[in-house]
Amino acid sequence: MRTILLRIAYNGARYHGYQVQANAKTVAGTFQPVLEQVLNEKVQLKGCSRTDTGVHASDFGVSFQTNSTISHRGLIQGLNINLPPDIAAKSCEDREEGFHARYSCTGKRYVYRVRDSGVRSPFEQDLVLLHKYPLDAALLDAAAQGFVGRYDFSAFCSAGGSVEDRVRTIYSFQVARRGELVEFSVIGDGFLYNMVRIMVGTLLDMARGKLPCAPEAVQSVLLSKNRNRAGATAPAHGLYLDKVYYEPIETQ
């Protein structure tokens, strides 16, 4: 039996997250029937993460076991012929027995995109957050360095998360301007429920003057472990799971 890792991408605007739900349209609920049709067998699909409603993925890992002898190229082509336009299979590879898309993951990179020109683009509907006022990317980048390191991120976790151990390592957090967009890019060994959206929301609140904009202010919130000390949760539609690591993590 083969163990296969598939990398997919999706626009999450029409989906209630990745994980299968009984009464909602999800990425896994849409993807798995197509995969089983192409393989001509039932599979147990393992996802690398549980993205929320409206969140996107540029790189999302799924793994499964199969008796099929289909080639990598044949699998990718078969999937992309039958998948809806907002989900695409990017690549696949055979992995060792016991490989798991979630538990074999060494880390992830998320990117949050904000348009701060004050003028919306019809080509970015549900894909970026529109911010009314210009952002100082360099100032926010300096403040974001307060997140880097190994900490208890309880202050940056929404209620409803079931994980008891809230200690995570952030390897890098960069804020940079890309034309009319400002991108928040964070790499870590794992993330709590809504953690990235709260970190970005906190930096945006700093930009609005609601919180001091400095790494020391971030550190103060972190050490408090108090969710009420952090900023708002940024909307889902600006967030992308940008890369899933199964090898040593690149921090640059």
Say what the pLDDT of residue 251 is.
61
Q: Specify the pLDDT at position 115.
A: 96
CA–chain centroid gap for 134, Å, is 25
Give residue limits of the domains in the chain: 2-95, 107-245
Confidence (pLDDT) at 202: 97
* Same fold across 2-95 and 107-245: yes
Average pLDDT score over residue span 220-239: 96
Q: What's the whole-number average pLDDT of the chain?
A: 94
Residue 118 scores a pLDDT above 80? no
Q: What is the pTM of this model?
A: 0.94
pLDDT of residue 250: 66
CATH code assigned to 2-95: 3.30.70.580
Give me the architecture of the 107-245 domain, per CATH. 2-Layer Sandwich (3.30)
Q: Residue 9: pLDDT above 90?
A: yes
Q: Report the pLDDT averaged over residues 94-101.
A: 96
Are the C-beta atoms of 143 and 203 separated by less than 8 Å? yes
170 pLDDT above the threshold of 80: yes
Determine whether 52 is an active site residue: yes
Query: Which is catalytic among the residues 52, 59, 116, 242?
Result: 52
In this structure, which amino acid lies at residue 31? F
